[in-house]
Amino acid sequence: MNGEAIGLLSIYGFFTILLLIAGLFCILMTRNFLRAIIGIEILIKAVTLYFIAVGRITNKTGLAEAMVITIIVIEVVVVVIAGGIALRVFRNNDSLDVRKLRRLKG
Amino acid sequence: MLSLLVLIPLFGIMVLNLPFKNPPRRFSFWFAVLVFTAEILLAIYHYPIFGGQDLARMDSFFGGGFSIDYLSFIVLTCIGIVSLSSLLVARYTIADGKELFRFINLIIITSIGMSGIVIAKDMFSLYVFLEITAVASFVMIAFNKDIEALEGTFKYMMLSTIATIFMLISIASILLVARDTSFSAVQEALKTSHSHPVMIASIGLFLAGLFIKGGIFPFHGWLPDAYSAAPAPTSILLAGIVTKTAGLYTLMRMIALFGSNDSINGVILLFGAASILVGAFAAMGQDNLKRMLAYSSISQVGYIALGIGTGTILGMVGAAFHLFNHSVFKSLLFVNSAAIEKQAGTNSMKSMGALAWRMPITETTSIIGMLSAGGMPPLAGFWSKLIIIFALWQAGRRGYSTLALFAGILTLAYFLIMQRNIFFRKPDANAEKVTEAGFGFVFTAVVLAAITIGTGLLFPIFFNDFIIPIKEILIH
Amino acid sequence: MAINILLLFIMLIAALWTVMGRSLLKATIGLAVTSAALSVIIFRLNSPIAAVFELSVCTGLMTVVFVSTISLTKPLTHKDIIRLSAKRMKRFWYLPVVIVMAAIGLMLIHIPKDLALSIAEKALDVRQVLWNTRQMDLFGQIVLLIAGAIGVVILFEERKKDEW
């Protein structure tokens, strides 16, 4: 890979890593279920950015786009089902506190 | 022809869900039975012995996206068998007709996902079908909607998403180096740039994602909660096939693809051995029956990982054979635990007792399953464990070999404790009313036990024709 | 090229705002802004169709899904949760500042020009790619959507028996 490609990759890679850290931070430091879902979202967006950057660098924008579209569909389905689970947790527990989900032990 | 494996179930789901006036709900059960039997038959049809053409052919319906080889054949057969068992148990466990219909839809979707994983030829498509399986599993675990099931689903969801992120980053990096994600392109790239740091890092990331999905130490945290809190048919499906396909089959495929590297093998061996020990020791202290079986699954998965980690043909062969055996006997044990849960009303081993006289068939099949898991000849488990131990010894990993031998004794130990607690203790007061389980449970258990015994007895035939040809995946 | 970096910064700051935000609704809006910025970045990197997907699905649909889920699970002690999370997040106030300063510093050191593409191979259009070579993924998407639909039906069901 030539130098310009590496430069471009390093910028997008850097921002991807920052976004990943932000997303992980969100998941680990929250008590609320829905905020954890938002953290998952941020993580997936970071990976989407990385995919598009890779597609741009290797000049395969069509392939990267097709993959990103599939990833977006997966993301939507996972978020909707996670929301459904959150709803059920709320109906059972009357709160979305993830620290209350500790009943299974051992 | 191969695309039929995924097309028939999809078509079936669309037919089942058409908005008729009287929706065909009663037929859904038999339809699903038909679908899974068709799956097993299709897999067999493609096998050379039974008259199909040579394997490793490609299918042209989806633009050359599918292919099947000997390893896929074994896993496809497992998928069919375990799905049928889960279906039968679901019929007798889920009372409401509407719920049963939805659950059958979910089982069919899971089988689409797993068939897709097994016959995919491209890394990104593999990932897509992994996600399908994962999403269907989320809903199946949370099916009962009680708080423990939701907790299991939550933990599985979080870890599965982290595995997703690992695998996606890995695929993107591979796209960077190899310009395409199909298996052949990746192999080409590996030949030219063998120790490119990006490649090694992305392989490592992908393997980490697979470890999470397969429940290998240190990422096994979600497994006991999810297996024990899920409803009975889901536990059968998860333990029998989902975790193993998503984690271990893909691991074998990746090792066949990326070649055996010494450091990767070392990592797999280390984590496999740790899984065996952690699973075995944790299983001994459990009171909940399903939780104990979950830890036992972690332990057996460690065996398969040990087989993969040897890097030799014999190790791979042993691992594939143990995958098949474990599907069969673990499903058998979970079917029996479902029967016990339904009849005795509890999962806690302390409050069961003396079920041996009241549930004779369940007890006999449990003993067969347990002995096969512990590696007692001439049952199937003995052969596969022997092959793995021998392969480890042959590859120079003497320490791991003795560890595997020792762990076999541990396995027998905790299963004996389980047997004693459930079947042979003095009866409790509430064990008086327990009767033998219904037809569905008994039939499934007997068939699965027969498969285990048959595989063990017919081992020489099995080995030469079905298992040895797997070595072709290691030859690139 | 500078615009790309600016957009990346906007996306990063929006993501930090989402993480640090006190109330859940503010976090949802932060997520929508992040998606919008990402969509513009994708568009500028020669992938218009993916940009449209990202904009319509992630910014629009998911914000709607989140807001509806939040409204369905409105916690009773909303104000207490805000107060507690504010206290917790205040400890880490320095973190986003540090990250942004580091990012600005790195950018000032080395700003590469845009990649002049030496087009050895013509990039295939995404429509051709999607429909000709990646049919498996399309099939996977269809199955995934069906699975999602079944999951929604199962999970979002309002059974009257719940009140027993």
Q: pLDDT per residue over A1-10, tens digit each?
A: 566 677 778 8
How close A104 gets to chain B, by Cα (Å)? 6
Residue B360 preceded by cis peptide, ω within 30 = no
- φ/ψ bin of B56: left (φ > 0), alpha (ψ from -120 to 50), beta (otherwise): left
- B446: Cα separation from own chain's centroid: 20
Contacts of B152 in chain A (CB under 8 A): 104
Tell whether the model's pLDDT for residue C104 goes beyond 50.
yes
Confidence band, pLDDT 50/70/90 cuts, at residue A48: very high
pLDDT tens readout for residues C61-83: 999 999 888 888 775 455 655 66
Q: Can you tell me the distance from the alpha carbon of C93 to that of A12, in angstroms, rounded to the nearest whole number?
A: 25
Picking from A44, A47, A85, the nearest residue to B172 by CB comes out as A47
Confidence band, pLDDT 50/70/90 cuts, at residue C37: very high
Q: Hey, what are B263's tokens?
A: 């450091």
Contacts of B15 in chain C (CB under 8 A): none
- B234: Cα separation from own chain's centroid: 12
Q: Can you tell me the distance from the alpha carbon of B385 to that of B359, in angstroms, rounded to the nearest whole number?
A: 30
Mean pLDDT of chain A: 84
State whether C136 and B13 contact (CB < 8 Å). Answer: no
> Is residue C156 less than 8 Å (CB to CB) from chain A?
yes
Tell whether the model's pLDDT for residue B431 goes beyond 80.
no
Contacts of C143 in chain B (CB under 8 A): 6, 10, 109, 112-113, 116, 132
Q: Can you tell me the distance from the alpha carbon of B137 to that of B425, in angstroms, rounded to the nearest whole number?
A: 36
Q: What residue in A sits closest to C75 (Cα-Cα)?
A: A95
Mean pLDDT of chain C: 75
Tell whether the model's pLDDT for residue B430 goes beyond 70.
no
State whether C136 and B65 contact (CB < 8 Å). Answer: yes
Element (H, E) at A92: helix A61-93
Mean pLDDT of chain B: 81
Q: Can you tell me the distance from the alpha carbon of B192 to that of C31, in angstroms, rounded to the nearest whole number?
A: 42
CATH code of the domain covering residue A71: 1.10.287.3510
State whether A15 and C12 contact (CB < 8 Å). Answer: yes
Confidence band, pLDDT 50/70/90 cuts, at residue B19: low
Q: Is C82 in the same domain as C104? A: yes
Q: Which of B358, B385, B370, B381 is nearest to B332 (CA)?
A: B370
Tell whether the model's pLDDT for residue B310 goes beyond 80.
yes
State whether B175 and A58 contact (CB < 8 Å). Answer: yes
Count of the separate structural domains present in chain A: 1
Please tell me the least confidently modeled range out of A49-53, B284-288, B357-361, B366-370: B357-361
Q: Can you tell me the distance from the alpha carbon of B340 to that of B355, in angstroms, rounded to the nearest whole number?
A: 9
Beta carbons within 8 Å of B200's beta carbon, 6+ residues apart: none
Q: Can you tell me the distance from the alpha carbon of A35 to that of C82, in angstroms, rounded to the nearest whole number?
A: 12
Q: Can you tell me the distance from the alpha carbon of C155 to that of B151, in angstroms, rounded to the nearest whole number?
A: 14
The answer to the question of residue A101 being in a domain is no
Confidence band, pLDDT 50/70/90 cuts, at residue A49: very high
State whether C27 and A72 contact (CB < 8 Å). Answer: no
Q: Is C37 in the same domain as C110? A: yes
- A61: Cα separation from own chain's centroid: 21
Q: Please give the model's pTM, rounded to 2 decimal places.
A: 0.89
Q: Residue C35's pLDDT is what?
A: 93
B26-59 b/e with 16+ CB inside 10 Å = b? eebbebbbebbebbbebbbebbeeeebeebeeeb
Chain C residues in contact with chain B using a Cβ-Cβ cutoff of 8 Å = 132-137, 139-144, 146-148, 150-151, 153-155
Confidence band, pLDDT 50/70/90 cuts, at residue C119: very low
* Structure ipTM over 0.90, yes or no: yes
Distance set, CA A30 to CA A23, B163, B421, C34, C85 (Å): 11, 20, 42, 19, 8
Q: Residue C125's pLDDT is what?
A: 64
Q: Using CB atoms and an 8 Å cut-off, which of residues 49-88 of chain A contact chain B?
A: 50-51, 54-55, 57-58, 60, 63-64, 67, 70-71, 74, 77-78, 81-82, 85, 88
The answer to the question of residue A106 being in a domain is no
State whether C136 and B128 contact (CB < 8 Å). Answer: yes
Q: Can you tell me the distance from the alpha carbon of B329 to that of B323, in angstroms, rounded to the nearest whole number?
A: 10
CA-based R_g, chain B, Å: 21
How close A94 gets to chain B, by Cα (Å)? 11
At A32 the three-state DSSP class reads strand
Distance set, CA B152 to CA A105, B223, B226, B230, B283 (Å): 11, 8, 4, 7, 18
Greater model confidence, A79 or B313: A79
> Is residue C7 less than 8 Å (CB to CB) from chain A?
no
**Residue B92 and residue B35 in contact, taking contact as beta carbons nearer than 8 Å:** no
Q: Residue B54's pLDDT is what?
A: 45
Q: Can you tell me the distance from the alpha carbon of B359 to that of B350, in angstroms, rounded to the nearest whole number?
A: 17
Q: Can you tell me the distance from the alpha carbon of A27 to that of A13, in angstroms, rounded to the nearest whole number?
A: 21
Picking from A60, A82, A104, the nearest residue to B179 by CB comes out as A60
Q: Can you tell me the distance from the alpha carbon of B308 to that of B217, in angstroms, rounded to the nearest whole number?
A: 15
Q: Hey, what are A54's tokens?
A: 């890779």
The answer to the question of residue A48 being in a domain is yes
Q: Can you tell me the distance from the alpha carbon of C44 to that of B305, in angstroms, rounded to the nearest whole number?
A: 45
How close C48 gets to chain A, by Cα (Å)? 9
Q: Is C24 in the same domain as C78? A: yes
> Is residue B428 less than 8 Å (CB to CB) from chain A?
no
Q: Which of B254, B299, B265 is nearest to B396 (CA)?
A: B265
State whether A22 and C50 contact (CB < 8 Å). Answer: no
Q: Which of C56, C53, C11, C6 is nearest to C30 (CA)?
A: C11
> Is residue B154 less than 8 Å (CB to CB) from chain C?
no
| Spans of all domains in chain B | 275-476
Q: Residue C116's pLDDT is what?
A: 43
**Residue B341 and residue B236 in contact, taking contact as beta carbons nearer than 8 Å:** no
Alpha-helical (H) ranges within C21-162 are: 24-44, 48-53, 62-72, 78-90, 94-109, 126-128, 135-155
Q: What is the 3-state secondary structure (H, E, C) of chain B?
A: CCCHHHHHHHHHHHHHCCCCCCCCCHHHHHHHHHHHHHHHHHHHHCCHHHCCCCCCCEECCCCCCEECCHHHHHHHHHHHHHHHHHHHHHHHHCCCHHHHHHHHHHHHHHHHHHHHHHHECEHHHHHHHHHHHHHHHHHHHHHHCCHHHHHHHHHHHHHHHHHHHHHHHHHHHHHHHHCCCEHHHHHHHHHHCCCCHHHHHHHHHHHHHHHHHHCCCCCCCHHHHHHHHCCHHHHHHHHHHHHHHHHHHHHHHHHHHHCCCHHHHHHHHHHHHHHHHHHHHHHHCCCEHHHHHHHHHHHHHHHHHHHHHCCCHHHHHHHHHHHHHHHHHHHHHHHHHHHHHHHHCCCEHHHCCCHHHHCHHHHHHHHHHHHHHHCCCCCHHHHHHHHHHHHHHHCCCHHHHHHHHHHHHHHHHHHHHHHHHHHCCCCCHHHCCCCCCCHHHHHHHHHHHHHHHHHHHCHHHHHHHHHHHHHHHHCC
Q: Residue B139's pLDDT is what?
A: 92
Q: Is C8 in the same domain as C29? A: yes
How close C152 gets to chain B, by Cα (Å)? 9
Tell whether the model's pLDDT for residue B55 goes beyond 60.
no
pLDDT tens readout for residues B60-70: 555 556 677 77
Q: Residue A72's pLDDT is what?
A: 94
Q: What residue in C sits closest to A54 (Cα-Cα)?
A: C45
Q: Looking only at Cα atoms, what is the longest distance across chain A?
A: 57
Residue C4, burial from CB neighbour count under 10 angstroms (0-12, 13-18, 19+) = middle
Q: Residue A93's pLDDT is what?
A: 77
**Strand pairing partners for C22?**
none
User: How confident is the model over B80-102, as a mean pLDDT?
Assistant: 84
Q: What residue in A sits closest to B178 (Cα-Cα)?
A: A58
Element (H, E) at A82: helix A61-93
Residue B378 preceded by cis peptide, ω within 30 = yes
- B444: Cα separation from own chain's centroid: 17
pLDDT tens readout for residues B401-426: 888 888 888 888 888 887 777 776 66
Q: Using CB atoms and an 8 Å cut-off, which of residues 56-95 of chain A contact chain C?
A: 56-57, 59-70, 72-77, 79-81, 83-88, 90-91, 94-95
Q: What residue in C sits closest to A88 (Cα-Cα)?
A: C155
How close C159 gets to chain A, by Cα (Å)? 12
For CA atoms B55, B241, B459, B449, give the dihedral sign: negative
Q: Can you tell me the distance from the alpha carbon of B85 to that of B234, in angstroms, rounded to the nearest whole number?
A: 11
Greater model confidence, C120 or C57: C57
Percent of chain B with pLDDT over 70: 84
Picking from A9, A47, A81, the nearest residue to B168 by CB comes out as A47
> Is residue C60 less than 8 Å (CB to CB) from chain A?
no
Q: Is C25 in the same domain as C106? A: yes
Say if strands B58-59 and B66-67 run parallel, antiparallel, or are unpaired: antiparallel
User: How confident is the model over A63-75, as a mean pLDDT?
Assistant: 90
Q: Can you tell me the distance from the alpha carbon of C55 to that of C39, in angstroms, rounded to the nearest whole number?
A: 6
Cβ-based neighbour number of residue B475 at 10 Å: 7
Q: Is C79 in the same domain as C130? A: no
Q: Residue C164's pLDDT is what?
A: 39
Count of the separate structural domains present in chain C: 2
**Residue B177 and residue B199 in contact, taking contact as beta carbons nearer than 8 Å:** yes
State whether B139 and C137 contact (CB < 8 Å). Answer: no
pLDDT tens readout for residues B241-252: 888 888 888 888
Contacts of C103 in chain A (CB under 8 A): 14-15, 18
Tell whether the model's pLDDT for residue C16 goes beyond 50.
yes
Distance set, CA B345 to CA B224, B435, C53 (Å): 20, 12, 50
Angle between helices C2-20 and C24-44 (to 10 degrees): 160
Q: Which of B155, B252, B180 is nearest to B210 (CA)?
A: B252
Please tell me the least confidently modeled range out of B187-191, B275-279, B367-371: B187-191
Q: Using CB atoms and an 8 Å cut-off, which of residues 19-48 of chain A contact chain C?
A: 19, 21-23, 25-26, 29-32, 34-35, 37-39, 41-42, 45, 48
Domain of residue A44: give its range. 3-95
How close A95 gets to chain B, by Cα (Å)? 12
> Is residue A101 less than 8 Å (CB to CB) from chain C?
no
Q: Residue B356's pLDDT is what?
A: 64
Domain of residue C140: give its range. 124-164
Q: Can you tell me the distance from the alpha carbon of B31 to that of C103, in angstroms, rounded to the nearest whole number?
A: 58
Cβ-based neighbour number of residue B246 at 10 Å: 29
Confidence band, pLDDT 50/70/90 cuts, at residue C89: low
How close B315 gets to chain C, by Cα (Å)? 32
Greater model confidence, A71 or B262: A71
**Strand pairing partners for B59?**
B66
